[in-house]
Chains A and B, each alone.
Chain A
Amino acid sequence: MTETTRTKGVSRRTLLKGTAGLAGLAAGSGAITGFPYVKSADAKVLRYLGTAVNEGDDISKQCLKDTGIKIEYITATTDDVTKRVMTQPNSFDVLDTEYFSLKKLVPSGNILALDAKKIKEFDNITPVFTKGETPGGKKIGNQGTAPWKVLYLEGKDSKKFATSATEFVTLIPTVYNADTLGIRPDIIKRPISSWAELLNPEFKGKASILNIPSIGIMDAAMVVEATGKYKYADKGNMTKEEIDLTMKVMTEAKKAGQFRAFWKDFNESVNLMASGETVIQSMWSPAVTKVRSMGIPCTFQPLKEGYRSWASGFCVSKGVSGAKLEWAYEFVNWFLSGYAGAYLNRQGYYSAVLSTAKAHMEPYEWAYWMEGKPAEKDIKAPDGSLLEKAGAVRDGGSYEDRMGGVACWNAVMDENDYMVRKWNEFIAA
């Protein structure tokens, strides 16, 4: 195989394509163990494992053009990404994952922290990650697995999170957002301002939440707190009693027929909302945009209790070293250099280095997406399709308002095992 690889460029490429396809299959089924390790002397290839969020074709094309690094996406759901890191750490080079998975990933020793000194823009990374505050100085809620709690390791091979800044960074931040409830204003026809509305009997049979236990319970906790039933010390790290209480409230609502369905992936959430099966549900920002681009009114409703936030970033597999590690740094540096950041911002996510992304966006785009100002011109998605007409204002307003309003972060609890059992009980109730 290596012979043909060296002599025939075309066949190598076909081989790579084939491997990428296989990777997709493997990721989908989760069934294939072991993965052909493609070693290539002349082409810079990085296998990139992550969820679909950052994996735009435009990003990989631009990266190849700018750096000569060919990115092969291995796309999986958040859970499957974690599973893959645990069971097949040699099947990828660069990992793009969420901070809350670190509590599982770091102790496994299957990932390698990156060196902050080698990241050009590291000092320009938004203080949301490093200090837990917005650039304007607003303190951000620190319940759950907030990125600044798990950003640094004590040493290169340490499995302990450092309490102050070190040069060993678990994940170099890439993308993050503040999530809230999506609603159908045309059907609800009145202002919605609290998470408590999710369990309002007015929306019986028309509400929904995520069926991903670790995220779903956070939304549930936001609701419980909003109804005034209980105030958590840390929604992202509940005690057994708190889990029981939260699930009891949700179980009662489920038994009373409050929920139309639970959703698990992006498309399910879009379909539920667009078809009118649900009118209020936990949702992700681009899903709201998708519903709106179908001509159906949908609002990503800011709520007074705040947002539930998530963030992801890059690290590498423990199997990556030498030249490959250098490419990985080159790729991460490229990712933070603006093109990808602007691309993500235009989808309604946020980029980790704001200054470089700003340089790659039109002033009117920046004003709409980041400053919460009315759009001067029509706002277009990265693929050129129309998202908003001129004059529209982003739901929730500016970056300062949205990120400043974050109440908690996606998390893995100490009592995760118990929580998963209770979640199964909730589904069976």
Chain B
Amino acid sequence: MDTSEDILHQASPDLVRGSETARRSKAARLSPSFISWLQAGPMMLVFLAFFLIPLVFVVIVSFWDYNEYQLLPAFSGRGYTDTFEGCIAQLPELCTIGKTYLMTLKLCFMVWAITLFIGFWVAYFLAFHVKSKTWQMGLSLLCTIPFWTSNVIRMIAWIPLLGRNGLVNSGLVKTGLINHPLEWLLFSEFSVVLALVHLFTFFMVVPIFNSMVRIDKSLIEAAYDAGATGFQTLVNVVIPLAKPGIVIGSIFVITIVMGDFITIGVMGGQQIAAAGKIIETRVNALQFPAAAANAVILLAITFLIITMMSRIVDIKKEL
């Protein structure tokens, strides 16, 4: 920006001098950096209008006061102090927000670990064991089939399967493996994790696959030639080179699970706390500043996790 202005400044007094300077300034105005800004511009504007500005509003509202029926635009930390109510007084026992985040993080970690494991091996299979490009395409499309129905349906479909009198339980009872239906199959942490893994593994598969297909096959051959075992090749060649994909997939899964309250609600029988659930309850009670405060806290924690992850891998550099 500076350079183009400078040139313009130099050029303007003696425009008469001839067409050469004018042409030069025109070329300068369309300098590569300016073009980049122009290209990124629309996206920036969209981000500004639909992400940054609303976010600023959320932060502002989180410091407002409220009563039963309206927002009171006066500074108040009530949204935050209420949220952390009892966090010191109840020690060593955890307060509501502590318990809620502990549960959310626990679910998040389990889902992340399982989706990473499954996603990694599915991607590995697609990238290294399927030789033909056509089959690779076909099989990855196959992975998208669950996405042809809505999130909600994919989630609810588990309920008749896992219920007390559901298919799994009646099957197990009939074969004589168990005497009483297993209660923990549904409305439990198990069912929540199962549904979340089912819903989000694909978000892990795609970026990891994407990283893996770009690994130069000759590197792997070289590793074998140098005498590395399959495991050594995996750990020393494939995983480091697939890291960007792993991190991007992890960011997808973690951000979604941190904010989820619908799946946790439905599959957990509304008995399992979630960070998103607190926000929903507050919004439904028209306590918008408290909801906004909780949203800011959730955002901060999620941001912290992602920052930590991008410390491990510099995505910008790796891409």
A and B: bona fide binding partners: yes
Query: Please, which residue of chain B has its CB at the minimum distance from the CB of A429?
Result: B99
Quick one: which of B125-172 are within 8 Å of A by CB?
A: 159-160, 163-166
Q: Would you call B68 and A107 a contact (CB within 8 A)? A: yes
A240–chain B nearest beta-carbon distance, Å: 12
Q: How many of B's residues come within 8 Å of A, CB to CB?
A: 34
A-facing residues in B50-105 (Cβ within 8 Å)? 68-70, 82, 85, 96, 99-100, 103
CA distance A254 to B284 in the complex (A): 23
8 A Cβ contacts from A404-429 to B: 412, 416-417, 420-421, 423-425, 427-429
The verdict on A259 contacting B271 (CB below 8 Å), with A277-B164, A420-B281 known, is yes
Q: Which of B68, B69, B187, B270 contacts A211 (CB 8 A)?
A: B270
CB distance from B84 to the nearest CB of A (A): 11
Q: Known: A275-B165, A427-B270. Contact between A104 and B286, CB under 8 A?
A: yes
Known: A108-B70, A420-B282. A261 touches B85 (CB 8 A): no
B285 in contact with A417 (CB, 8 Å): yes
Residue numbers in B under 8 Å from A104 (CB-CB):
68-69, 286
Chain B CB within 8 A of A86 CB? yes
Distance in angstroms from A184 CB to nearest chain B CB is 12
Q: Which of A82, A264, A417, A428 makes the CB contact (< 8 A) with B273? A: A428
| Contact partners of B265 in chain A: CB under 8 A | 264
In the complex with contacts A86-B286, A428-B96, A429-B99, A213-B281 CB distance below 8 A: yes
Question: Is the beta-carbon distance between A79 and B284 smaller than 8 angstroms?
Answer: yes
A318 lies within 8 A of chain B by Cβ: no
Question: How far is A271 from B166 in the complex, measured between Cα atoms in Å?
Answer: 12
Given contacts A83-B284, A86-B69, A205-B183, contact A260 B103 (CB under 8 A): no
Q: In whole angstroms, what is the CA distance A214 to B283 when docked?
A: 14
Give the number of chain A interface residues (Cβ < 8 Å).
Answer: 36
Interchain nearest-CB distance for B21 vs A (Å): 51
Does residue A328 face the partner (Cβ distance < 8 Å to B)? no
Take A104-B69, A275-B165, A276-B164 as given contacts and tell me if A263 and B282 are in contact as well, using a CB distance cutoff of 8 Å.
no
Residue among B69, B99, B282 making CB contact with A428, cutoff 8 Å = B99
Question: B201 on the interface (CB 8 Å rule)?
Answer: no
Interface string of B281-304 (1 = CB under 8 A from A): 111111100100000000000000
Closest B residue by C-beta to A110: B69
In the assembled complex, how far is the CB of residue A80 from the closest CB belonging to chain B, in whole angstroms? 8
* Minimum CB–CB distance for B298 against chain A, Å: 14
Within 8 Å of chain A (Cβ to Cβ): is B29?
A: no
Q: Which residue of B lies closest to A271 (CB)?
A: B159
Which residue of the partner chain, among B186, B187, B281, contacts A424 with CB atoms under 8 Å? B281
A83 proximity list for chain B (CB < 8 A): 283-284, 286
A101–chain B nearest beta-carbon distance, Å: 10
B100 to chain A, nearest CB (A): 5
Interface digits, A75-96 against B, CB 8 Å rule (1 contact, 0 not)?
Answer: 0000110110010000000000
**Docked-complex contact B273 and A421, CB < 8 angstroms:** no
Contacts of B271 in A (CB 8 A): 254, 259, 261-262, 427
B277 within 8 A of A: yes
Q: A151–B273 Cα gap in the complex (Å)?
A: 38
Binding site for B on A (CB under 8 A): 79-80, 82-83, 86, 103-105, 107-108, 205, 211, 213-214, 254, 259-264, 271, 275-277, 412, 416-417, 420-421, 423-425, 427-429
* 20 sample A-B contacts, Cβ–Cβ < 8 Å, listed by A number: A103-B68, A108-B69, A214-B285, A259-B269, A260-B187, A261-B187, A261-B269, A261-B270, A262-B269, A263-B270, A277-B163, A277-B164, A417-B285, A417-B287, A420-B285, A424-B281, A427-B272, A427-B277, A427-B281, A428-B96
